Amino acid sequence: MTFRTRFAPSPTGPLHLGHAYSAILAHDMALKHNGEFLLRIEDIDQSRARPEWEQQIYNDLEWLGLWWPTPVLRQSDRRSAYGDVIQRLWDQNYLFACSCNRRDIMSALAAPQEGAPLHGPDGLIYPGTCNEKGSSSGTYAIPEDAALRLRIIMAGLVAADSFDGTKIQFSETGSGPNQETGRIAFDLDELENCIGDIVLARRDMGTSYHLSVVMDDATQGITHVVRGQDLFEATKIHVVLQRLLGLPTPIYHHHRLIRDDQGKRLAKRDDARAISKYRDDGYTPEDIRKLVGLSG
């Protein structure tokens, strides 16, 4: 199998050391496997994406010595492809319109089952309030202040059927936050209790991170997804969507996160750790490799 991976930043702020680690690791893995490294710009959130941040991504990655083929795929150019899939899922009744806001969800969760988690990889675990609504036929529309959610169990049943009918699986060559590695298996109960009916399309974006990432990895022929452990649980959503949409499941490699001195994961707002800041302070790309624990 050819090895093709990608780095998929959102142009919503400066890239920091955590991004540098992820991008260099993926690039090194592609070189080692005689494969390809692609760049994808994840700019579906147009309220936060800025052209200057996109340009900064190119500058930073070039400075780090990375190379990728052009043209670069930009998610904002893929709206109609996402819309076609949303329409198909709507027609098949996998989606329902939901206008619950955070407060509605919190109050429905006011008496959660003991021990049940409140948050999953898509935020608060949706309590199913609007799930009983049928989809209307015809062209889908996302109502004002609303979202389309995926009926996770209906989707999970299709996914499970493509394995042994009970467990859904993927291969992990890195590790999850609890050292999960190798063959990762999960079932419908986990989907229901730990993930819930996730948002598949938001009105302001017309899509969602989960749908776009799954469609784009397939369109770009990605065989290996290299990304941070913070996305390990979200991978379960992605595998369900791949099975539902008849798309291949890549091999996943989740890596450790780069943390600050207090042990907190770096965020976009941590400008002090921005790659460009290090460059301005006289650091070399080799210094950055050392800082994130990658040797030359």
Contact positions vs ligand GLU (CB under 6 A): 8-10, 42, 213, 227, 231
Q: Could you count the other beta carbons within 10 Å of the beta carbon of residue 163?
A: 13
Give the nearest distance from C-beta 66 to ligand GLU in angstroms: 15
225 bridge partner residues: 252
5 bridge partner residues: 37
Rounded Cα–Cα distance for residues 159 and 208 (Å): 20
Give the nearest distance from C-beta 4 to ligand GLU in angstroms: 14
What tokens does 262 get? 């207090």
Give the nearest distance from C-beta 97 to ligand GLU in angstroms: 26
Q: Which is nearer to ligand GLU, 60 or 96 (CB)?
A: 60
Q: Which is nearer to ligand GLU, 151 or 253 (CB)?
A: 253
DSSP SS3 for 94:
coil
What tokens does 250 get? 């890549």
Q: Which is nearer to ligand GLU, 72 or 154 (CB)?
A: 72
Q: Which is nearer to ligand GLU, 151 or 273 (CB)?
A: 273
Q: Which is nearer to ligand GLU, 151 or 227 (CB)?
A: 227
Name residues whose C-beta falls within 8 Å of residue 80's C-beta, 6 or more positions apart in sequence. none
Rounded Cα–Cα distance for residues 129 and 65 (Å): 50
Q: Which is nearer to ligand GLU, 9 or 121 (CB)?
A: 9
First-last CA distance in the chain: 26
Give the nearest distance from C-beta 262 to ligand GLU in angstroms: 21
What tokens does 152 get? 């996770």
Give 52-90 as a 3 state SS string: HHHHHHHHHHHHCCCCCCCCCEEHHHHHHHHHHHHHHHH
Give the nearest distance from C-beta 103 to ligand GLU in angstroms: 27
Give the nearest distance from C-beta 213 to ligand GLU in angstroms: 5
